[in-house]
Amino acid sequence: MSKYLETLPQYHFDRDDFCKVFGEVFTDDEIIDIDVMCGYPQNTENFLLYRWEDEFYIVHRDSGTIINWYKHLGRTNTCNKEAFTLADLKELLLLLKEDLKEVEV
């Protein structure tokens, strides 16, 4: 099997660190809005948000970065970028926040 089709490593970030970064960028109400948008696949200018069962996916289309988020557990399950840091996560979420200003929930 191609290395590009291998299952991603689990638990890319520590739960508390991940929640802290999300909380620095989004209010609780905004996180609920993201929850709702993921339930019905949502395209913004730069992102795709969708949900599969209890997993939420945030996809940055230009870079191909994917965050697979178990929201109910408050942690990220996987990230498809091996060296993706919390600073990178914050940058991604700030870009998402900017995109969401143009979307009606």
pTM of the entire predicted model: 0.85
pLDDT tens, position by position, 89-99: 999 999 999 99
Please report the pLDDT score of residue 88 as a whole number: 95
Report pLDDT for 73.
57
Report the alpha-carbon distance of residue 3 to residue 94 in Å, rounded: 31
Q: Which amino acid is at 3?
A: K
pLDDT of residue 11: 73
Q: How far apart are CA 80 and CA 82, in angstroms?
A: 6
Each residue's pLDDT tens digit, 18-76: 889 989 999 989 988 888 888 888 899 999 999 888 788 899 999 999 888 876 555 66
Q: How far apart are the C-alpha atoms of 12 and 16, rounded to whole Å?
A: 12
